[in-house]
Amino acid sequence: MRKKKPARKPKSVRTQKRNKPKKPQPKKAAQRAKKPQPAKPLRLVKPSKAEHPEKEKRPSAHDLVFSPGDFVVYPTHGVGRVLVIEMRVIAEQKLQLYVISFERDRMTLRVPIGKVDSAGLRKLSTRKMMETALVTLKGRARVKRTMWSRRAQEYEAKINSGDPISIAEVVRDLHRNVGQPDQSFSERQIYEAARDRLACELAAVERTDVDAATEKLEGLLAAA
């Protein structure tokens, strides 16, 4: 005869509660009433300068470095004179420009007021700086023993820097007194360019003519 299996004991109430599926509880966020948030204040958007080029701020009198009639020095052209400050529309923008005349080169140049620093445009040297340049002329020539092509590039870089002391160094190094070997054609060209550039600024500083300033430079060179 088969043995009867013992009857299973009924699950306890605690076990039944464990196996009982839990009811989904509503989220706390859903139960809470949403508080009305205050509306954000509207921001006023200012129109850009590109949309209204005519309303751009013009440079004030304090921003203007030079005035009509002032002598200025442009690195690659030397001494010039400001004729007028004019207004022009370029690429739909209004620009104020310095109109500079270079009488020696018979040339007129226009430089935007905002580009004065990057262009290297500057005022005339002070008398103290010009005196330092004249003292440099009396010094001993310092000629490097390198190829002339390299020295010529260095001399031209000094001339185009617009620094009167650097230009005086070129004049001093390329000057030839009596009894010294003659200059080559290219040496003579660079020498005259440096001498004329220095003489123009010296004449503007001392308020004399260029010929008198040139004679003064040559006299200092001969006496050195």
Q: Does residue 134 sit in the same domain as residue 194?
A: yes
pLDDT at 143: 81
pLDDT band, residue 168 (cuts 50/70/90): very high
- The reply to whether 144 and 119 lie within a common domain is no
Evaluate whether residue 32 is within a structural domain: no
Global pTM value? 0.67
3-state helix, strand, coil in the chain (%, to 5): 40, 15, 45
Question: Does residue 112 lie within any of the structural domains?
Answer: yes
Are 151 and 119 in the same domain? no
Closest CA to 197 of 170, 174, 177, 223: 170
Mean residue pLDDT of the chain comes to 80
In a domain, 28, yes or no: no
- The answer on 196 and 172 residing in a single domain is yes
Give a yes or no: residue 43 inside a domain.
no
Between 13 and 172, whose confidence is greater? 172
Where does a domain end: 123, 144, 164?
123
Q: What is the CATH number of the domain that holds 67?
A: 2.40.10.170
Q: Are residues 169 and 108 in the same domain?
A: no
Q: Could you report the per-residue pLDDT of 13-60, keeping only the tens digit for each?
A: 454 555 555 555 555 544 555 555 666 665 655 545 444 444 444 444
- What mean pLDDT is predicted for residues 195-219? 94
**Long-range contacts made by residues 76-85, C-beta under 8 angstroms, separation at least 24?**
76/160, 76/162, 77/102, 77/105, 77/107, 77/109, 78/102, 78/104, 78/105, 78/162, 78/196, 78/197, 78/200, 78/201, 79/104, 79/124, 79/200, 79/201, 79/203, 79/204, 80/109, 83/108, 85/113
Give the mean model confidence (pLDDT) for residues 132-153: 89
User: Same structural domain for residues 117 and 134?
Assistant: no
The CA distance from 141 to 218, in Å, is 15
Say yes or no: 186 and 131 in one domain.
yes
135 shares a domain with 70: no
Residue 147 sits in the same domain as residue 200 = yes
- Same domain for 144 and 107? no
Choose the final residue of a domain: 82, 100, 123: 123
Which tokens belong to 78? 């030397």
Tell me: do 89 and 137 sit in the same domain: no
Structural domain harbouring 114: 63-123
Q: How many domains does the chain have?
A: 2
Which residues lie closer than 8 Å to 224 by C-beta, 6 or more apart?
A: 137, 138, 139, 172
Q: Let me know if residue 158 belongs to a domain.
A: yes
Specify whether 103 is located in the same domain as 151: no
In a domain, 34, yes or no: no
